[in-house]
C-alpha cells in the first residue's frame, strides 16, 4: 500500500512539474508571438504595420542564417548590421535588423533576438 502511495505521489509530482515550469517562464514566448524579454519596451502592436512599412522603405539588407528565426536565437558576431528604431515607434533599447526575410528586434550587446515582428 505504501508503494502505491509513493507511486501516486511521484506521478502527481511529475505531471505537475511541467505546469510549474510553464508558469515560471510566462514572461517569454518562443517563436513568432510577441515577447517581452527583460521587461524592456518593444514596438506597440498598433505601430507594427507602420514599422514594417518603414523597414521596407529603408531597404534594409536581409541577413541569412541556417537556423529558424525565433526568439532567443543569438545572431553571429560578424556580418549583421543593426539599426536604431526611430523614436516615433516608441522608446526602446533594442535594435532591428532583417534575418531570413523576417524583421527582428535584437538586444545589441548579446545579439539575441527578443522579438520577431511578423
Write out pLDDT tens, residues 80-94.
999 999 999 988 899
pLDDT at 15 over 60: no
Q: Are 105 and 94 in contact (CB under 8 A)?
A: yes
Q: Are 105 and 32 in contact (CB under 8 A)?
A: no
pLDDT value of position 39? 54
| DSSP code, position 109 | T
Beta bridge partners of 104: 97, 116
pLDDT top residue among 108 and 20: 108
pLDDT at 41 over 90: no
Residue 6: all three cell numbers together? 509513493
Average pLDDT on 43-60 reads: 92
pLDDT value of position 113? 94
Task: Give 11's pLDDT tier (boundaries 50, 70, 90).
Answer: very low
- Give the Cα separation of 104 and 99 in Å (integer): 7
pLDDT value of position 42? 85
What mean pLDDT is reported for the chain?
Answer: 76
Average pLDDT on 45-71 reads: 92
- Could you tell me where the DSSP H helices lie in the chain? 2-24, 48-58
Amino acid at each position: 500500500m505504501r508503494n502505491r502511495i509513493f507511486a501516486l505521489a511521484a506521478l502527481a509530482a511529475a505531471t505537475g512539474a511541467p505546469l510549474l515550469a510553464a508558469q515560471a517562464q510566462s514572461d517569454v514566448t518562443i517563436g513568432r508571438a510577441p515577447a517581452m524579454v527583460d521587461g524592456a519596451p518593444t514596438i506597440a502592436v498598433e505601430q507594427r504595420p507602420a514599422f514594417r512599412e518603414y523597414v521596407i522603405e529603408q531597404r534594409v539588407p536581409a541577413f541569412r542564417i541556417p537556423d529558424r528565426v525565433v526568439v532567443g536565437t543569438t545572431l553571429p558576431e560578424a556580418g549583421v548590421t543593426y539599426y536604431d528604431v526611430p523614436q516615433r515607434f516608441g522608446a526602446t533599447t533594442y535594435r532591428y535588423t532583417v534575418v531570413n526575410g523576417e524583421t527582428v528586434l535584437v538586444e545589441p550587446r548579446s545579439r539575441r533576438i527578443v522579438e520577431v515582428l511578423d
